[in-house]
Amino acid sequence: MHDHPNPAAPATSRRTLLKAAGAAFLGASATLAGAGRAGAAATRNTADVIVIGGGFAGVTAARELKKAGLSSIILEARGRLGGRTWSTTFAGEPIELGGEAIDPKQPNVWAEAQRYGIATTSGGGLDSFVMPSGSGFTILSPGAASTRLAQLFTPFFDGSAALFPNPFDPFSGTGLQAFDQLSMRDRLNQLAYAPADEAWINGTTAGLSGGTSARGAYTMLAQSWALSGGTYEGYVSINTYGVQGGTAALLNAILADSQAQVRLNSPVAAVTTAGKTVTVLTTTGAVYVAPRVVVAVPVNLWKTIKFLPGLPAEFGAVSRAGIGVPNSKKIFMHVRGGAAGAFVAHPPEGFPISTTVPHSTLADGTRIIFCFSTDPQVTGTSVAQMQGLLSQLSPGIQVLATTAQNWGADRYSLGGWSCRQPGMLTGPYRTIQQPVGRLAFAGSDIASGWSGYIDGAVESGKTAARQVLAMSSAGDPVLVG
Ligand SMILES: Cc1cc2nc3c(=O)[nH]c(=O)nc-3n(C[C@H](O)[C@H](O)[C@H](O)COP(=O)(O)OP(=O)(O)OC[C@H]3O[C@@H](n4cnc5c(N)ncnc54)[C@H](O)[C@@H]3O)c2cc1C
């Protein structure tokens, strides 16, 4: 590549860069009261590229840049990498508090698992489905429930193939402009389902949207349907496989390949471009400089970082509106017994928890299950509260313990899985996928294909690396990685 780092660069190049960085830093500190006291020694933090955010998007970008000969420093706000994926344990079992499932229909993440020889896992048995019925719930066989779910969901997605003929290019279809104005609620209303029928599917649309079906764009789900091959079976099958050793095993394999330096507990406060240098300032006062930067934090976090010069208006508008859904929680429960056995439940819109899924069965016959919630009143950490809710789904079930992650309240996510709002795709989306000067943006929130999935994060990390490599390097200072 024409902008490979040059290990033989004379020391003066580096001094020139650091001087320029100091000037840029002073510019940033003038607008960040009290944040400007980092010592000059901190400006030794240099690489060819600074990557802000150590989720799948950021780590993949660093790996791709390394393949092209460029060194990276990853600045990660939290004390761990992985972002909205988080491999941990509960009741002695490995669990994922965030993103978990990968699928062969998701070519970017699937290729990563294959590249590093990481095996996939699939879940255990299933006894029943618990579905809305009247003002309560009924327990059905998985076959009977799936047949009816397929019948109800399929018309919801009529026309998806025309909207997304090449589903990895979200702009390839016809009629997108009009459909993109629809919320999932608008689409449910268009189809005028009988109330009992709508109750079977509006819990899914509300959950994915972040609490109410009126929030999420219809095209978000229609694109997932098209990416899944346009069938209900394809759509539900994307939740079949997990990663052996957890998502952390896959992330760490990519990270090792990147040879990036990682700085944990380094929340970025300001990103200042001055001439050919980008200066990145953390809330702890550390300063990093590089000719190029990949911003791989959630879209909802863009508004918390001071960019100088400012980003185009679309970036701020989308960040304030939000793509990561509010109030999103993933809740794990250790349970015993219950009439429904190992069950999948799809409670209707308005019920305090949404999709509920079995995770594993322990040696003593107790089970780990998980559910999602976007209800602000549900903490997921109260055994009594979860007992009250689960008893309605599976009478006789006993909740022994719970753990939960509230991604909406997490200050380094400010939201959970991605779900664009009506008008975003055909409005600002193209703009926010593009680099701005020396900054490239990455993240599942702005992916072209599987936005809202690990696959989208990997895809966008690759895209951002390509964008960095395409940036003009003429006259740039030379850094030694
Ligand atoms: C509950 C839940 C369940 C999900 N289930 C699935 C699933 O089953 N399958 C699937 O494929 N996907 C799933 N997803 C989605 C998937 O987890 C995400 O799309 C993906 O992990 C996002 O990766 P990312 O790198 O784009 O963003 P993130 O993972 O959010 O990474 C961004 C990083 O930036 C860091 N950061 C934030 N602010 C700053 C700052 N100022 N300075 C420095 N660093 C900062 C964050 O700490 C984070 O590490 C789920 C998500 C959630 C929340």
Query: Tens of pLDDT along 180-200?
Result: 999 999 999 999 999 999 999
Residue 192, annotated as binding a ligand: no
Contact 51, 74 (CB under 8 A): yes
How many CB atoms are located within 10 Å of the residue 181 CB?
A: 15
52 lines ligand 1 (CB under 6 A): yes
- In this structure, the residue with its CA closest to atom 53 of ligand 1 is 416
Q: How far is CA 435 from the centre of its chain?
A: 19
- In this structure, the residue with its CA closest to atom 46 of ligand 1 is 83
Ligand 1 centroid, distance to 441 Cα (angstroms): 14
Residue 404: closest CA among 305, 332, 478, 318: 332
- In this structure, the residue with its CA closest to atom 4 of ligand 1 is 99
What is the residue extent of each domain of the chain?
11-82+246-322+418-470
Contact 442, 63 (CB under 8 A): no
Beta strands in 39-96 (DSSP E): 45-46, 49-52, 72-75, 87-90, 93-96
Contact 370, 95 (CB under 8 A): yes
Residues 6+ apart with CB under 8 A from 442: 53, 57, 58, 60, 61, 294, 295, 296, 457, 460, 461, 463, 464
CA gap 277, 470 in Å, rounded: 16
184 lines ligand 1 (CB under 6 A): no
Q: Which top CATH class is 11-82+246-322+418-470?
A: alpha beta
Contact 359, 123 (CB under 8 A): yes
100 lines ligand 1 (CB under 6 A): yes
57 lines ligand 1 (CB under 6 A): yes
Query: Tens of pLDDT along 92-109?
Result: 999 999 999 999 999 999
Ligand 1 centroid, distance to 416 Cα (angstroms): 8
Count Cα neighbours of 455 within 13 Å in the Cβ-side half-sphere. Answer: 22
301 lines ligand 1 (CB under 6 A): yes
Residue 168, annotated as binding a ligand: no
User: Which pairing describes strands 45-46 and 287-290: parallel, antiparallel, or unpaired?
Assistant: parallel
The pair of structure tokens assigned to 383 is 């055994």
**Ligand 1, atom nearest to 97 Cα:** 1
**Ligand 1, atom nearest to 109 Cα:** 11
Question: Is 374 in a helix, a strand, or coil?
Answer: coil
Query: Candidates 75, 204, 454, 462: which one to mutate for ligand 1, based on the most atoms within 8 Å of Cβ?
Result: 454
Contact 359, 93 (CB under 8 A): yes
CA gap 47, 60 in Å, rounded: 16
- In this structure, the residue with its CA closest to atom 20 of ligand 1 is 454
pLDDT the model gives residue 476: 61
Ligand 1 centroid, distance to 450 Cα (angstroms): 13
Q: Give the residue carrying structure tokens 């099958």.
A: 237
DSSP string, 277-293: EEEEEETTS-EEEESEE
**Ligand 1, atom nearest to 106 Cα:** 11
How many CB atoms are located within 10 Å of the residue 114 CB?
A: 12
The pair of structure tokens assigned to 465 is 């690396």
Residue 268, annotated as binding a ligand: yes
Q: Alpha helix locations (H) across 68-174? A: 107-115, 142-156, 160-163
- In this structure, the residue with its CA closest to atom 17 of ligand 1 is 99
Ligand 1 centroid, distance to 97 Cα (angstroms): 11
Question: Is 17 in a helix, a strand, or coil?
Answer: helix
Ligand 1 centroid, distance to 54 Cα (angstroms): 9
Ligand 1 centroid, distance to 248 Cα (angstroms): 12
Residue 76, annotated as binding a ligand: yes
Residue 59: closest CA among 408, 454, 411: 454
Ligand 1 centroid, distance to 400 Cα (angstroms): 29
Residue 301: closest CA among 467, 412, 223: 412
DSSP string, 165-177: SSTTSTT-SSSHH
77 lines ligand 1 (CB under 6 A): yes
Query: Candidates 417, 420, 458: which one to mutate for ligand 1, based on the most atoms within 8 Å of Cβ?
Result: 417
Residue ranges of the chain with pLDDT lower than 50? 1-43, 475, 478, 480-481
Count Cα neighbours of 343 within 13 Å in the Cβ-side half-sphere. Answer: 29
380 lines ligand 1 (CB under 6 A): no
